[in-house]
Every structure is written in C-alpha cells, then in structure tokens.
Amino acid sequence: MAKVWFITGSSRGLGRSLTEAVLSKGDQVAATARKPEQLTDLVEKYPDQILPLQLDVTDNGQIRAAVEQTIQHFGKIDVLVNNAGFGITGAAEAFTDEQVRTQLETNLFAPIELTRAVLPYMRKQRSGRILQISSVGGRVGNAGLTMYQAAKFGLGGFTEALAKEVAPLGIFVTSVEPGGFRTDWAGDSMSYAPALEGYETTVDQRAEFFKGGNFVPVGDPAKAAKVMVDLAYHPEPPVHLVLGSEAVGFLQHADALRKAELEKWLPVSLSTDHDEATSFFETELGKSFLKA
C-alpha cells in the first residue's frame, strides 16, 4: 500500500532528491518548502501524488496548519521527514544572538515541533515512521561548527529517547546521520560568523575550506534518497543510520577516542559513588535501562 509522506525542505538538496524518489515509487507527498513554486515541475509530472505547501518551519502556526492540510488532503501521514535545515560556521563567541537563535530554531526546535504535531495522528493509527535528518555532526564535534552541532546533537538525543517512548505504539523513529553529500550545504546554504583573532588555525581554516569550494563530498543524494525510501518500509529500522564512508570513518575514530578516554578516567568516574550505594545496574531500575 502506498504511503503518505510529509517532507520539509523538499525543494532543494537532499529533500528534493527524496521527494523525487518517493514520487517515483508511487507514494504520495506533502512537499513543504519556503518557496513551493520551485516544485512546479513535480506537480506537473505527479499531479495526483503531490501536495505542495508553503512552510516556514520556525513558525509553529504554519506547522500545525500544514499538518492539518495534509490530513485533510490525503487522510493520513505515514512518514514524517524532518529535513529542512542549514549550516553555519564560526567561533562560538563570534555568532550573533540572531545566528544562534535561528540555527537552533531551524535545526532543533522545528523538528521537535513537527514531530509533536504529527505524533497524535500516528498514535491514533498505531503506526508511523519519523526520519530526522541529522548529521554525523550530531555524533562528532568539530571546531567551527558549534551551533550547528549543538542542534544536531540535541536532535539525536531527542530521537533516541523518542524511539523508546513510541515503539509500543507502532511508531519507528530514526536519526539519519549523513556525512558530506553533494548538495549546497557547504555552498549557498552555508552562513558564517565574523572572524575573530585567535582562531586562525581552527575555525578560520574550516571557513576558508568551505568558502574556497574545496569541500567535495563523497555522498550521492540520489543514493541516500533510495536508502531512506527503503528505510520507510523496513520492518526493523535502526535508531541511528550513518550514511557515507566519510561519516563512518569519522564516527569510528571518535568512538575509539571516547572509549579510550572512558577507560583512562574510569577509576575517577567510579570513585564518586556513595559508599553505601548498590551498583546502579544491579537495581531494578538499572536492569530496565539495559532492556530498553
């Protein structure tokens, strides 16, 4: 049976590739974008499958209205894809208040609000898939990307907790974590904080790398889109799905460093338990955490 998708940021980049893949499969899509007129060619090609909607994901009123329009038009939402977002580079202290706010509003608060808006419908139908388009930058931190990665780390944590919360309702939640893909993430979509003295060998190097067009990602958006379409139909989807060899390499390296650091500081970590305490994972609560 064909699924109904709700995709944000569907007019460009990975969102556009995914929208095309979903339509090609025969599914239906509420395709949201700031400029839905950029979807005209898809509307002409798939008039009965696509519902183009104007949506600013930082506007909670527009979010609720778009979800209701989709339900009225298609009768349900089977798959929510929180894809809309943008990157920002700079030193943490250099970002303006507006840059910090808009980054968190778009990349963290908006996916949370969209998820909250769709969940009541999925809960009632006892089924649904939610794909949060995060990043390997939500698992591995890098200089110059503090605000972007603060949002993505937050989204990953929200996803992991939510997946446990809604699993009994037949709802699956996955954090999709790509490395670099050949979209305009590091191009026209990237914004920057003013440069500051002292960050020449860290933040500035990354900013110049992006600005100089030297970042040539290995990821193919069309292949990622196919994976996500297949994921929506998989009976046991993962909570975290890393995409791309670059992302896999970054994560493997980071995991090794974290493990080594944990082991090095383990005596200090264990030294803080109360003398009369029982090991947490020997308690009923601890055992329940291990089962979750």
Q: Which residues are marked as active site?
A: 134, 148, 152
Rounded Cα distance, 56 and 47, in Å? 23
Q: Which of 179, 130, 127 is nearest to 155 (CA)?
A: 130
Residue 252 φ/ψ, nearest 5 degrees: -60, -40
Rounded Cα distance, 48 and 227, in Å? 24
- Residues 63, 110 contacting (CB under 8 angstroms): yes
- Residues 47, 71 contacting (CB under 8 angstroms): no
By three-state DSSP, how is residue 56 classified?
coil
Q: Which of 159, 140, 133 is nearest to 224 (CA)?
A: 133
Rounded Cα distance, 28 and 17, in Å? 15
Rounded Cα distance, 150 and 178, in Å? 16
